[in-house]
Structure 1
Amino acid sequence: MSGIIWNVRGFGNLATQRRALFLRRHHHLSFLAVLEPMVDLDCRYMARRMGFEEVVSNKSGKVWFFWDSTIACKVLFDHDQFLHLELSSQLFPSSMIVTVVYAKCTRLERSLLWENLEELRPEGDILWLVGGDFNVISSMEEHSAGVLARPGAMEDFNNFIMLAGLVDVGFVGDRYTWTNNRVWKRLDRVLLSPSWGSLDFTVRVEHLSRAASDHYPLLVEFRGFQKPRASFRFQRMWVWHRDFMQTVRLNWCLPSVAQGLQRLQMKLRRLKEHLKWWNMEVFGNIHDRVLQAEEGMAAAEQAYDRGPTEQSRTHRSECQAHLFRVLDMEEDFWKQRAAIRWMGEGERNTKFFHSTVQKKRSANRLFRELLTGETVDSTDVDTELIPSLVSTEDNLMLEGLPSAEEVKQVVWSMCQDSAAGPDGFSVAFYRACWEIVGEDVLQAVMDFFRGAELPRGMASTTIVLIPKVDSAQRWQDFRPISLCNVSYKIISKLMAQRMASVIGKVISPAQSGFVPGRLISDNILMAQELDHKLNYHIRGGNLILKLDMTKSYDRVQWGVLFRVMAAFGFSESVIAFIRRCVTSSWFSILVNGQLSSFFRSQRGLRQGDPISPFLFILAAELLSRGIESLFAAYPGMAYATGCDMRVSHLTYADDVVLFLNGSLDCVRRGKGFLDSYEAQSGQAINAEKSFFFPSRCISVRRRQQIAAVTGFDLGERPMLYLGVPIISGNKRTVHFAPLLAKIQRKFQGWNFSRLSHGGRLMLIQSVLSSLPVYLLQVLKKLEGVFASFFWSSVGHDRKVHWVAWRDICRPKQEGGLGIRRLSEVGAALSMKLWFRFREQSTQWARFLRRSYCGTVDPGVVTLRSNASPSWRRMIQTRAVAERQIGWIIEQGHLSFWHDRWMERGPLSEWCTVQGPPDVRVDRFLADGSWSQEILQRVLPSAVAEEVTEDCAPEGGCIDSDLEQTPPPHHFRVHLEVLSETTASGRDLTAAWCMLSVQMSVLWRVMESWRAGTAWSSTGSVREITPLLICWFLWTARNDSKHRGLRSEGHKTIIQIIQYLRVGMTSSIIKPRHWRGAISAAQAMVIQVRIRTLHTISVVHWRRPDDGWFKLNTDGSSRGNPGESSYGAIVRDHSGQVVVARQGVLGEGSNIRAELMAILRGLELCVDRQLSPIWLESDSLVALHIIRSSGISWEFREEILRIRRLVRQYGVRCTHIYREGNAAADFLANQAYQVEGERVMEGQEIDGLLLGICRMDRVGLPYIRSSCKPG
């Protein structure tokens, strides 16, 4: 079935009639909508002439609708700007609503059209198609000039699409649908309701050729499609089945003669075939199972109503538990489908493009040529510019065999909802079945690190084409995403995590992509600063070159990459690891859901491979180092900014911007270098998408010469860099119109009748969380979009904003809904910018410091008249931000008078500045400590004494910033919820304390959440209990606040216990999940029959090596949080006690006590000059915090000091079981009987402690008992 919607601009013309008749016959049209016929002829005469059965016209005569006998049509509403029709056809399961639009030319008249169409929006799942000439565009891309004087009309149109719940179906053909031969616009389109997505056919719109009118005809085709045969894909819902784990275990444990990588590949292939059979024969169709469970529940309810016996009640409960279980399975199914919907979107959006066998062959041929194309001779690559920066220690770390814990951590760090590779096994499979498959995965990874080649099946990759633009039609409009097998990604991810610790010191400061600690916003801010200096007066003028690299990932030459890595100092072993990863790739293109034949690549990196971003920026260093060398050799090429810090280029992955002098000599020299780079690297610059931006002082003639030399076009303002408009001068709303339209499109297509206000609130928060900072320039318009979406009407009700948006944005405690006000977000982000500037850790921050401050302290520098908008905005928030930042003195590179390194505030606020105002702290230090004599020259005696006593410098590192409030650059929304459920209070404490007594490890879970660590007891009921506590406390809090119900702790405890009992009844929670918590089950009167295997292990305390000192520490907290203490003991290589320390710490948590014990012990060793030190603790959480790169705000000071001591004295850190840490444990527990702190040595040491140490010294074992399910 097909039809045409066409603004003919006069139907009386014979040529137009002949064209319409030809289109009717050629495309077998079932309907024809003619707009603006402009004739006095009887429309019924035209129907007969066109061969249609019937025709109807709207009241203004501007819309005619013809249809044939295959369609039944009924007019629902007649309007002077549209016809609202109901169509019925055998093709559709139900009737559909078609609205043919011919909109007026003025914004005011169209506003009435939008209101009327919103009121006519069908309810429920009724199909709705709206098409015609809307006389307005929806984005800047739909206008050939790319500019819009009045964006208000576009905003109105996008608001209508959003509020009507419609989506643009897209198109095939020319981008524009109307022209006057000077300007082209897309004024005609087809919009659909979301209910169309549930049908087994597609709606395709094609822009036909423009003949006999200034508008293109829109051909609308309704095409059925056959779903491709589904390939194997692991389903998370399988895990819920009671037989799944046993099925996997029995198949996995079948004998295999292969080893390592080959063994894992063979077992996965065998299990895949077995699970296909199991899914069909045992698990079955999940939707059928839900229907059966519903029927079973209804029958059980009826049986109970007829005779409410104990047996019928039990049967009803069992049916209810079974129903809940299969509903959870179905929810998992839809969650998994939603998580990989982008993959499906990629296929759907390219349905027509890949609809024929010829197109499928074309796709395969294109990527085969791209990935197996001509390679360059890597021996011609000049790597002399690349310094050797990778140390021997770095290489040893990269080469080392991974541990079982490291491999498991890699698996758990991967998103379990990510799309699977060709073998169909997702991350969710490995995590669910880790106890079964973990050992084979570990052996396979170790096999790779020992030099084994990757099997072809493991290295196979599926390429999915994702459209980069709407209505993509050319190959350049698609982004190829590689779906790698998880078995390979574990190896690649492990290498990437190791590489992350090295990459920062080898990559140039100009590159901010994929380097830990560098942000995309750094490059955007730097580009804004440099663009602000574009018109700086200099001979030749300034010039910006914005480069577009063609398929840069796919064109990476392996030989060039390996030579660059060797030049940086990577060892042969590390390069061999990378070589085996990238050269073993086999590709297949996914077209229409079917895989093409596999082919092997000869160049390129896989987008989707965890290691690829790091490898790409390593190869791209050839460009960065070359540009730096070129500008160093020819200083006259420099871009003038008035600052002594020169910036030649910025790169973010393959986005490159050059800043240079605009003289022809400089341009030719720069272009010559780029040509040389292309020849050496195999990369290619797309001249069609590359542009130059000259300063005002560059003449028109020279601009033409620059275009001839570079082959680039003159760019249009504002320059778009990394998706952000780089604006110089006054900002206008029109500059942000495309971005506003993009936000509006995020809300388009939602079915409001099914989306509650709570759902809308969540969607607004989701969009808000991903909101680019630069959109805060148009706060009022954005908040208007959010408000319109939130209060959008359902059915035919008029939308009324019952509560002001500013009240909705209040915190929940004040009666609002907790949405962030954009003005407040803007203020917070401005403070974040100031904080990052004060850190001076980025190229952008250093450039601003040298441009606007020089030697003057940033806290007191005055604002210049030529300052950039970013700097002006930061200066406005400086006073507030400075009060939130404190500093720890280390090397003394701080302002003595203006930085906040004293708790009372900067000295300049409460003392008279004497001497130079920009003097640094290190001028008052001597041998790492304060010089009282120098201090008293400029400070009163009392103040100098306070400085000496309270502000001792911490030597060994650079001065570090210490925020007085949680970091402004860490927006942790989850901390709000966590604080609600872990705060103090009678009811909250009752629930936490009762259950934490029954399950003694709950404190570890909560502390690891607070500390950001990854403690886990997967498979244990102890892991879900904290979540249940949080959930039921949260619901109790909501009931108390919104329903007026009293919150009582014992009721919350009963709810949690009942949930655990239901989980046992429905087999969601199994007996093995109660491992280590049998006593808790007994206390909750939950019957658990579990066979356990008790194991006895021997724990020894080991002496340190000769010359070493061993420090054992332990922390204790009674109540967690509660009264806490610590103990630390140092022994020499013979096991003799050197010194011991213990003390009370006041109220605190277990984890804080453990950290303080380590800190006090290390400080004791430093005071006694004991080194080298071997630190041993029984707290895995504390050791993980010390080793990780992150810092928990709650323990920041302790962690920083511990890490500084560990790094400075080369401390070795290991874990010991609690039984082997008896001496430190004794000291920590005994400390409660001591006031303050005490250091003991020699005769002062307690006799019992000496006895414990004597047993350790002679090697007497400690017995550790543990159990696991049988």
Structure 2
Amino acid sequence: MWLLHPGFIDFVKGIWEEPVAGSPLLVLFLKLKRLRGTLRKWNREVFGNVHQQVKDAEDCVCRIEVAYDQSPNEGAKEELEEDRKILEGVLLQEEIFWKQKSRVSWLKEGDRNIKFFHSMVNIRRRQARVDKIKGADGEWICDPEGVQAEAIIVSRLVGLLSPLVEAEQGAFVKGRCIHDNISIVQEVAQDLNRKTRRGNVILKLDMAKAYDRYEGFSRQLVNRQKSCFVLGRKASLARAHMIGVVTGFPRKTLPITYLGAPLYAGRLKICFFDDMVGKIRNKVAGWKGKLLSTGGRVTLLKHVLSSIPIHVLATLIPPKAVIRRLYGIFADFLWGCSEWGKRRHWVCWRKFCRPLQEGGLGVRLLEDVGLSLRLKGLWKVFTEDSLWSEFFRAKYFRNSHVVLAGVQGVGSKVWRSTLAFKEFLLNRSKWLLGSSNISFWLGNWTGAGPLLDHVDNALQIDLDLRIKDALDEDGAWRQEILDAINSVAARDSVVLHNFAPSGRCDVLAWTPSTGGSFTTKST
């Protein structure tokens, strides 16, 4: 906001260039301290109250307009135009003020939605206020100083939670993702009706308190009214009765809602997504025609509406009919309504989803977003030792390397559709060697893909051979291994790797990303 004032830059430059003696860090500290004080004074005496400036500019324009209507002349017209420019400038300052207060960084200056900014500021104030907090003794602390002290303790404990809290706790711990838990339970639900001796059972526990309340059989306080159990088809009525008596939970049938996503077995139906579609429709109904211009609608669409389904898209593949319904809601919101009803959609939605340089709005297709999120999960299976990774490796890769894993007839529909892009991930990744404990034949460590693709008779080679074991005592590649590679280019790519195994871990790097880390944007 201050940057719009014509003398601001020169003022800051003059204050900053005044000499200060001391070490470099001390000079920086003293200059920042001096600048802060002078900026406060400058804001009060020079920049002034932006809201009062808007009011004064509006009053001035009103007076000039009345005078011009009574006596129109060239001088009055020029004066009116000049005052309108001043009003436009202070209105822009006020807009930026509310934008900064609301911390809505995705709206650009010029789309003046002051009511929207006001509502965002009020929401942020309500959400950010902590009126009371429960102390270690279980008593509520209500005085501001006590609340602040407890909050500081909590913030310092955040970094210590990961090694202390068990891996099954996916939320509220930095570095963990709740989508992992949802995906694991979805996989379990797909096997609910698999034939077993007495039938399968799913227990859904709703914890009243995450960390500080405990109960005998689960070690945490369970909300029995919100908890439930689900039985497979093979379970008997006697078994269902016994579980109900022991747990006190009601019996339910799939689908049920688990962590905001539908949990189901069998065929995925359109009706499972009614809650998500209704939530988006209600969100749009609260915005429509009240606060935003067309530019504001585009921004809200890209950064808010398109983000609501992500929680579900990360773990499920909605039917095409559900995606079409969402696109219809998005398009209705973007085109808006007139007094005669909905406006005509002159461009199909998929053209809007093209990149900006191709004439689109840069909105990502929901199908692409969902695939990117599922690919991120598959990447974690390749690279991490988390609850998610251990589960899927044990279920699908127990007796084979990921490179050899097939797709047909394996696992749930979500897993099969994700695993179909296995080659996409592997071809865009490369192992950065450290200890060289990865597979010589199956790991893409040369950048040319798995060396298994360049072998005539795969049955005669040891697929478990590690890279460090392919070296002789002098650190050179063993000749019989090089002879098994039928491609000159692939053999040369091996020979060019002159290295010695180190104590560092082998790291799988994502080549489309500069830092080597997998991101959904890079897909």
TM-score bracket, normalised by the shorter chain, equals 0.7 to 0.9
The reply on whether 1:339 has 2:121 as its aligned counterpart is yes
Q: Tell me by how many angstroms 1:947 deviates.
A: 1.2
Q: Deviations over 1:1006-1028 (max 9, x none)?
A: xxxxxxxxxxxxxxxxxxxxxxx
CA RMSD across the alignment: 4.3
Counterpart of 1:293 (choices 53, 57, 61) is: 57
* Alignment partner of 1:883 is 2:421: no
| Amino acid of the structure 1 residue aligned with 2:263 | I
Equivalences for 1:1092-1107 in 2 at 5 Å? none
Q: 1:685 aligns with which of 201, 222, 235?
A: 222
DSSP 3-state at the match of 1:516: coil
Per the TM alignment, residue 520 of structure 1 is displaced from its structure 2 partner at its CA by 0.9
Q: Judging changes above 3 Å, is the alpha-carbon distance between structure 1 residues 784 and 968 closer, same or farther for their aligned structure 2 residues? A: farther
1:759 and 1:939 map into 2 onto residues whose CA distance is 59
Alignment: residue pair count: 451
**Contact 2:288/2:333 (<8 A) preserved:** no
Q: Does 1:855 align with 2:402?
A: no
Question: 1:515, 1:345 → 2: CA distance?
Answer: 20
CA distance in structure 2 between the aligned counterparts of 1:770 and 1:719, rounded to whole angstroms: 20
Q: CA deviation at 1:488?
A: 7.0
**Deviations 1:251-282 (Å, cap 9, x if unpaired)?**
xxxxxxxxxxxxxxxxxxxxxxxx9xxx9xx9
Quote the Cα distance in structure 1 between the aligned partners of 2:493 and 2:135.
Answer: 68
Please report how far the alpha carbon of residue 860 of structure 1 lies from its aligned counterpart in structure 2 after TM superposition: 1.8
Contact conserved, 2:430 with 2:509, CA < 8 A, in 1? yes
Higher CA-based Rg = 1
Pick from 146, 161, 182 the counterpart of residue 459 of structure 1.
146
Distance 1:821 1:890, change over 3 A: same
Q: 2:75 aligned with 1:306, yes or no?
A: yes
* Corresponding position of 1:733: 270
When residues 494 and 546 of structure 1 are mapped into structure 2, their CA distance, relative to the original with a 3 A threshold, is closer
Is 1:915 the counterpart of 2:453 in the alignment? no
| CA–CA distance in structure 2, aligned partners of residues 495 and 909 of structure 1 | 51
DSSP 3-state at the match of 1:544: strand
Q: How does 1:218-229 map to 2 (within 5 A)?
A: none
Structure 1 consecutive aligned stretches of length 4 or more whose deviation exceeds 6 Å:
300-304, 311-320, 370-375
Is the Cα contact below 8 Å between 1:924 and 1:934 reproduced in 2? no
Match for 1:932: what amino acid? R
Aligned with 2:255 (options 709, 715, 718)? 718
Q: Does 1:543 align with 2:81?
A: no
2-side partners of 1:847 and 1:317: how far apart?
64
- SS of the aligned residue for 2:217 comes to helix
Which of 409, 415, 426 is the equivalent residue of 1:865?
409
Partner letter of residue 496 of structure 2?
E
Question: Equivalents in 2 of 1:865, 1:946: separation in Å?
Answer: 36
3-state DSSP class of the match of 2:201?
strand
Match of 1:810 in 2: 354
Given the two structures, how large is their TM-score scaled by the length of structure 1?
0.32
Which of 950, 962, 974 lines up with 2:497 in the alignment? 950
Q: Which runs of 5+ in 1 are unaligned?
A: 1-235, 243-274, 348-363, 376-420, 423-455, 461-484, 554-615, 624-670, 678-682, 976-1270
Cα gap change, 1:751 to 1:823, in 2 (>3 Å)? closer
Counterparts in 2 of 1:318 and 1:341: CA distance versus 1, 3 Å = closer
Corresponding position of 1:705 = 242
Counterparts in 2 of 1:331 and 1:296: CA distance versus 1, 3 Å: farther
Determine the C-alpha separation between the residues in 2 that align with 1:539 and 1:771.
Answer: 39
Structure 1: which amino acid aligns with 2:200? Answer: N
Higher helix share: 2
Q: 1:769 aligns with which of 291, 307, 314?
A: 307
Amino acid at match of 1:293: A
Q: 2:185 aligns with which of 527, 535, 540?
A: 527
Residue identity in the other structure for 1:888: L
* C-alpha distance 927-534 of structure 1, shift in aligned 2 (>3 A): farther
Cα distance in 1 for residues equivalent to 2:94 and 2:312: 46
1:936 matched to 2:482: yes
Paired AA for residue 970 in structure 1: T
In the other structure, the counterpart of 1:503 is 161
Equivalent residues in 2 for 1:782-1181, closer than 5 Å: 782-796=326-340, 798-863=342-407, 865=409, 867-912=411-456, 913=458, 914-925=460-471, 929-933=475-479, 935-936=481-482, 938-939=484-485, 943-944=490-491, 946-950=493-497, 952=499, 955-966=502-513, 969-971=518-520
2:176 maps to which of 502, 518, 530: 518
SS of 2:338's equivalent? Answer: coil
Q: Relative to 1, partners in 2 of residues 1:730 and 1:969: Cα closer, same or farther, differing over 3 Å? A: farther
For residue 404 of structure 2, give the secondary structure of its aligned residue in structure 1: coil
Q: Quick one: which amino acid aligns to residue 438 of structure 2?
A: L
Distance 1:773 1:337 in 2: 25
Q: Cα–Cα, structure 1 residues 295 and 867, in superposed 2: closer, same or farther, change >3 Å?
A: same
TM-score normalised by length of structure 2: 0.73
Deviation track 1:104-156 (CA, whole Å, cap 9, x = no partner) reads xxxxxxxxxxxxxxxxxxxxxxxxxxxxxxxxxxxxxxxxxxxxxxxxxxxxx
Structure 1 residues 840 and 959, CA, compared in 2 at 3 Å: closer, same or farther?
A: same
Paired with 1:833 and 1:345, the residues of 2 have a C-alpha distance of 31
Compared CA separation, residues 506 and 520, structure 1 to 2 (3 A): same
> 1:229: which partner in 2?
none
Cα distance, 1:704 vs structure 2: 1.1
- 2-side partners of 1:785 and 1:857: how far apart? 44
**Displacement after TM superposition at 1:315 (Å):** 9.0
Question: What is the Cα deviation at residue 712 of structure 1?
Answer: 0.8
Q: Summarize the Cα distance change of 1:953–1:336 in structure 2 as closer, same or farther, 3 Å threshold.
A: farther
Shift of 1:492: 4.2
Identity of aligned residues (%): 26
Higher relative strand content: 1
Contact 1:885-1:900 within 8 A present in 2 as well:
yes
Q: Displacement, 1:816?
A: 1.5
- 1:298 shift after superposition: 5.6
